[in-house]
Chains A and B, each alone.
Chain A
Amino acid sequence: MTGTTRRDVLIGSGLFSAALMVPVAFGSSRSRAAGAPSLAGNTWLGVDAQGRVTLALPKTEMGQGILTTITMIAAEELAVRPVDVVVSIPDGDSVRFAPIDQGTGGSTSVREVWQPLREAGARARIALVNAGARQWGVPAAECDAHDGAVVHRPSGKVLAYAALVAAAAAAPLPTEAPVRPASAYAVIGKSHRRLDGDAKARGVAEYGIDVVVPGMKYAAISVSPIFGGKLAGVDEAAARAVQGVTGVIRGADVVYVVGDNTWAVRQGITAAKAQWTADAASTGTQQAGVIAAVAAALDKPGFVAATSGDLEAARVGAAHRFSATYTQPFLAHATMEPANCVAHVHDGQCEIWTGSQIPGDARKAAAKRLGLPLDKVTLHNRLMGGGFGRRLEADMVERCVDLAKQVPFPVKLIWSREEDMSHDWYRPAYADHIDIAIGADGKIAAWEHKIAGSSIMARLLGPAFKGVDDDAVEGAITPIYPARARKVTFQQQESLVPTSWWRGVGPLRSAFVMESAIDEVAHQVGADPIAFRLAHIEDPRARAVLEQARDKAGWGTAVAPGVGRGVAVIHLWDTYMAAVAEVTVDKDHQIAVKTVTVVVDCGQAVNPSGVAAQIDSGIIFGTAGALYGEVTIANGRVEQSNFHDYRVLRMNEAPVIHTTLIDNHEKPGGMGEPPNAVIFPALANAVFAATGKRLRNLPLQKGLEAG
């Protein structure tokens, strides 16, 4: 065992460069303890006795690059190189980072840490500068921090942080600590290679699934494939007959097989041939019924999320009227690293190793599940092989501690891909109805938008939920198109299918509907889709991204038959983004995405290379979702199981992506989700341009084949 004290996993450059020099042997240990900071800018950023900047990452790294981004901001304020910062991935802790929430989702990370992180860095930097000035007996105003040292400008004298940190820590932290002005940025705004890239490329970075704890055994899991089903029988003897299987453990709706290695327990869980029972409501749950219920919910009045003006009055004398219903299916996350968790329950305590987007909440969930006080539960967080919202749920931790409390050793529980795919928390299936009236003056007179579907917020809020899901209606209630009268409603409609956050969350749903609908209206009135949008959008930043995308994409130039360009523009997560997608549709109705031109204004880009990477990522993730993504239900079970029936994009299908970043020093916006949201409608609009077929029901490929 590794003990019960906090052990942050160091992934700073020092460790990785050391790892490079060690010839890779069979087995390795890549953890070491982080020294406590001597000078604390706050509870997670400081300078240690050797003068090294130490950062406990207040957000979680799932591939989005936040480790690098946050380190860059810290490096900027503390005047060191990002590679010199010793970064650790901290344990789940809901107190240490307050008011910042370790929970990482909703494209909030940079927006949330931007101010407190810089202020903490500035406090530490100025404490060091003051210590240097005191030592030299010179005014602090003559000193500055530079490259890990304090410099006295007039004399050129230099003292490294290591020589000043004790004195700086002994004095009270400065109350006045202005952050670096944008004009002085040496790190922020300049592309920086990912700090975790090299170790990941070499296969030496540690993900949750790679954790090895001494004495650990392995386990496979099978949860009832029918929603709400219960375990009815297990062929325990057959499972135990598999060489390497040491145990079979049953729960109400689950069976675990434990053994010496993953192969043994995978065979064991197959041999166990678990049987399940479920009531008729569960086994009778069918795709068509679930989807029909969501669509029918649109006929209810719904709860008002936003209203302004008088819709009926605004519709009088309309020059054009447009209304349509759009539907979007359940989606699985299909993170590259399947769900997994390691846990050890012993002596009234529990230690957990996993990759979680919510390490603090997952720790609490484990404590609750085990009936242990929170301080008896430790969650060591790890790098994640993809999150996309899947790891905003703690079910992998809960299932693992349920098992771990029944065995006297640490246990690593790994979901098979099939188990992961069929027991996800799915992006809700939604139905939206939109009704737009264009007045005689050509302006948008009335805009009515009804939204129906599962409410994630209702599940999370419980009785505090009042009928409007604030996530689901996000984007819908703050459109970039002004209207004289507007009404947006939400109607919750649940099924047995569990739902949760999926990259793009509610605003993705809103963006698909609104940017499809505005495109349809443009075509209906015979206007160019971009010119029509520009005729209505007032926000200059939204106009700028759209105009640049139009120009860079060669909008309006001739295309071959079967080729079409589609556009979408969003202002979501404090980021402005426009995309023009160019697709081809062949005679067999197969859609291929050739190029996507993206223009983004996300305010101050901390790491332009990272912003561009997120655009590649979201465009490709979203293209897979828009073209092919669909989870379907039959007899109460999810029908998809692996990448053969849940199609994702591959190298030969990836579009060429041209990204333009508009440089400015506005407050940073989110980047994890906007590209994924903008591409769904851009593709639907491009398919229309290519084929004349308006697809209002996702996924697009299926819709096109259905004719």
Chain B
Amino acid sequence: MAVTLTINGQRRDFDASPEMPLLWFLRDVAGLTGTKFGCAAGLCGACSVLMDGVRVFGCQTPVGDAVGKSITTIEGLTQQPLGKALVEAWNEVDVVQCGYCQPGQIVAAASLIATNPKPDDAAIDAGMSGNICRCGTYPRIRAAIHRAAQIHAGEPA
């Protein structure tokens, strides 16, 4: 079945069932493998993408729900100013370990900063506790979010 989706600013027609979760659609149909599979149960956040700027779990969002919305994946986010600021901060703080959760973490962080440009630790806890990192990068993610907020606001370190 043909669906028209806007992904990372590009409108395209795809052949996919509207029930297919965005996670599998992005990875297997659209070839965007930056969005990761961790649990398929809304428990880990590895599959996070932005839908009209707000983080959703790709594994819990049917393709049909994305029709008419703007989907931004990690690949698209990192081409935007906020995504660039996040990657820069992630690199500065040297956050990544296995890295598998990190695209989802960065998407969640983008959603957080978009609504709260200077999140404090409590806001980071609230905004980021839907994302699991088995490698334990939480302390550096926290530091990197503070740093990304600065970079995005054009403030010096």
Contact = CB atoms under 8 A, between A and B. Distances in A.
A642 B73 CA distance: 25
Contacts of A98: none
Given A63-B135, A200-B99, A643 B74 contact: no
A158 B140 CA distance: 41
A650 B30 CA distance: 30
28 contacts: A26-B32, A193-B91, A201-B91, A201-B102, A203-B74, A203-B102, A204-B34, A212-B31, A244-B17, A261-B20, A261-B24, A263-B20, A266-B24, A335-B98, A337-B98, A338-B37, A384-B98, A616-B140, A618-B136, A642-B41, A643-B44, A644-B43, A648-B132, A648-B134, A650-B132, A651-B128, A652-B129, A654-B142
A39 to B, nearest CB: 32
Do most interface residues of chain B lie in helix, strand or loop, or is the interface mixed? loop
Contacts of B31: 26-28, 212
Given A196-B96, A200-B96, A336 B34 contact: no
B70 interface: no
A417 B86 CA distance: 29
A620 B100 contact: no
B51 interface: no
A24 B76 contact: yes
Interface string A212-226: 100000100000000
A621 B136 contact: yes
Contacts of A210: 27, 33
Interface string B32-73: 111111111101101000000000000000000000000001
Contacts of B142: 651, 654
Contact of A263 (B7, B10, B24, B138): B24
Given A196-B96, A336-B135, A648-B134, A203 B41 contact: no
Interface string B122-133: 001110111111
Interface string A557-581: 0000000000000000000000000
B136 A649 contact: yes
B99 A197 contact: yes
A385 B30 contact: no
B150 interface: no
Contacts of A206: 33
Interface residues of A, number: 67
B21 A263 contact: yes
Contacts of A31: none
A336 B46 CA distance: 8
Given A203-B35, A651-B124, A654-B139, A263 B132 contact: no
Interface in A368-421: 383-388, 414, 416-417
A606 to B, nearest CB: 14
Contacts of B151: none
A266 B23 CA distance: 13
Contacts of B73: 203
A619 B141 contact: no
B12 to A, nearest CB: 8
Interface in A190-239: 191, 193-194, 196-198, 200-207, 209-210, 212, 218
Given A263-B21, A336-B134, A654-B136, A643 B41 contact: yes
A200 B134 contact: no
Contact of A62 (B46, B98, B126): B98
Contacts of A26: 7, 10, 12, 30-32
- Closest A-B pairs by Cβ, 9 of them: A203-B34, A63-B98, A200-B99, A385-B100, A620-B136, A27-B31, A203-B74, A654-B138, A652-B125
B103 A203 contact: yes
A262 B27 contact: yes
Nearest to B137: A616
A384 B101 CA distance: 11
Interface in A312-343: 334-338
B13 interface: no
Contacts of A194: 94, 96
Interface in B79-100: 79, 86-87, 90-91, 94-100
B91 A63 contact: no
Contacts of B125: 651-652
B155 interface: no
B112 to A, nearest CB: 11
Nearest to B97: A63
A201 B36 contact: no
A62 B96 CA distance: 11
Contact of B94 (A193, A335, A383): A193
B94 A417 contact: no
A26 B41 CA distance: 26
A71 interface: no
Contact of B79 (A23, A65, A266, A653): A23
B114 interface: no
A617 B96 CA distance: 11
B32 A198 contact: no
B100 A262 contact: no
B75 A203 contact: yes
B102 to A, nearest CB: 5
A404 B124 CA distance: 45
Nearest to A201: B90
Given A197-B99, A337-B37, A383-B98, 12 more contacts: A193-B91, A196-B96, A200-B99, A202-B74, A202-B78, A209-B33, A218-B28, A263-B20, A336-B133, A337-B100, A618-B136, A642-B41
B40 A335 contact: no
Nearest to A203: B34
A613 B94 contact: yes
A417 B78 contact: no
A643 B98 contact: no
A336 B44 contact: yes
B29 interface: yes
B39 A643 contact: yes
Contacts of A648: 132, 134
Given A338-B38, A642-B41, A613 B140 contact: yes
Contacts of A160: none
Contacts of B25: 263
Interface in A11-43: 23-24, 26-28
Nearest to A23: B79
